[in-house]
A and B are shown apart, each in its own frame.
Chain A
Amino acid sequence: MRDDIGVITLDNPPENYLADPDFIPLEILRKWTSADSLKGIIIHGAGKHFSAGGNLENLFAMIHGKEDLMARMKAGKAVLDYLENLNIPVIAAIQGVCFGGGLEIALAAHIRICSENALFAFPEINHGIIPGLGGTVRSAQQIGHRKSLNFIMAGDMINAGEALAMDLVDYVVPKSKLLDFTYTMMQKMTQDRPLPVIHAVMEALRNAKTLPINEAMQEETRLFCELALAESSRKNEP
């Protein structure tokens, strides 16, 4: 953690393969994010790459070894759901390869920034499986059903420019500037912002995704009133 910004590093170089579907145990993540001062989280990969995704050998070993694959996948999903539903912003800073499970982690973030040399793919289909940590759902939400179908079914790799054009990422920046750009953006977003305001914005944004327009707007107005009342009473205090 630096200032009020937390950093999660996928640290299994060189490719940062994910040993387990739940790349951070939920309990540890929960404890870490419960720090009162935490205002934002940046996820990145150690070294040259973000993450090449799940370790297929491990995965198939899990299947053959009759380990409870379903339970492990469920745990992995719970971690990503937790990140997505956090009431502080999560930004993924992506360099190098971002494949499969790595891309699914990136898709659970609220903002994706990548370097010019980033590469994206859901290669699962080439191994007879599909993205299993919410990737099919989140990519459809992010880039639309048609593009998502093509991307997942083809299993092909795309570059940073293509990812930007199809709205898979929000920004492409030079490799050397990736972390600075991400950190500066997060600072500008959170530095002078009281936590209740950040929380309210995150809640409204989540509603925008999940609620029909009438209800989402009703909630937006309600959150506005809550902040306005807090502000009024703060100003009236001596």
Chain B
Amino acid sequence: MTLPSFTTLELTLADGIGQLVLNQPPSNMMTLEFFREFREAVDFIEGNPEFGALVISGNGRHFSAGAELKSLHDEIRTGSVVVDGRVTEVPELLIRNFQAFLKIEKFQIPVITAIRGVCLGSALELTLFSHFRFCGEDAIFGLPEVSFNLLPGLGGIKKMSSIVGTGRTLELVLKSNTFSAAEAYEMKLVHAILPRRELMTASIGFARSVMENYHLEKAGLYLKKYFA
């Protein structure tokens, strides 16, 4: 099977385990072009029987610093419909972006995000739609949108509140400061913290174990045993 090739990300497949790597180092910014290729990659993986598991990570030191705001602002300025000061229609593109996130969540294969370095804004939102979040000891998380007078707009509030609860979500979003791997683990946002060097191997190893031994529904229990 020939995999599509991309410029802002890399999609590979080995022994049934797909790897999607955000590939615009050092910060792996999520540009409009990235989102376009990301949607294409998601559509390619969806329902493809060759993929038994998917691991998403970032090339280099960081997962991703999130969405690139300038082009996003331009897109919104030209693509929104405003009636009496209220936005009634948003650019189609933005809807397709969150639909791609929702597709990942509904994949019938385990999706794991392996998070090194910074994981901010839309990048953190992306990880919320994966089934398992593993991070390196050095990982730094945050939803900084409010400090730019925006809000997390790709499911960050919806998903975050179902994972860490309403109170914590409100605090994190409004404070919009960063938090550490340990804090993320304490609020049950990530499932495991691993030494940075072992993160990829462990994530792929876990993906393989889940793929070979268990149905996705049972993987939560499996996780406990695996990292016990």
Contact = CB atoms under 8 A, between A and B. Distances in A.
Given A111-B167, A225-B90, A198 B174 contact: yes
Contacts of A110: 166-167, 170
Interface string B66-93: 0000001100110010100011001100
Nearest to B177: A188
Contacts of B177: 188
Contacts of B90: 221-222, 224-225
A228 B153 CA distance: 10
B77 A229 contact: yes
Contacts of B150: 197, 224, 227-228, 231
Contacts of B147: 192
Contact of A201 (B80, B91, B148, B157): B157
Contacts of A213: 102, 155, 158
Contact of A193 (B72, B94, B154, B174): B174
B76 A228 contact: yes
Given A194-B149, A201-B173, A229-B82, 13 more contacts: A110-B166, A197-B150, A205-B157, A205-B173, A216-B158, A220-B154, A221-B154, A223-B151, A224-B145, A224-B153, A228-B76, A229-B80, A231-B73
13 contacts: A110-B166, A189-B174, A189-B175, A198-B174, A201-B151, A201-B173, A207-B157, A213-B102, A217-B155, A217-B158, A227-B150, A229-B76, A231-B150
A221 B98 contact: yes
Interface of B: 72-73, 76-77, 80, 82, 86-87, 90-91, 94-95, 98, 102, 145-158, 161-162, 165-171, 173-175, 177
Interface in A91-141: 110-112
A234 to B, nearest CB: 8
Interface in A159-186: 167, 170, 185
A201 B156 CA distance: 11
B170 A205 contact: yes
A151 B206 CA distance: 37
A142 B147 CA distance: 28
Nearest to A169: B167
A214 B155 CA distance: 9
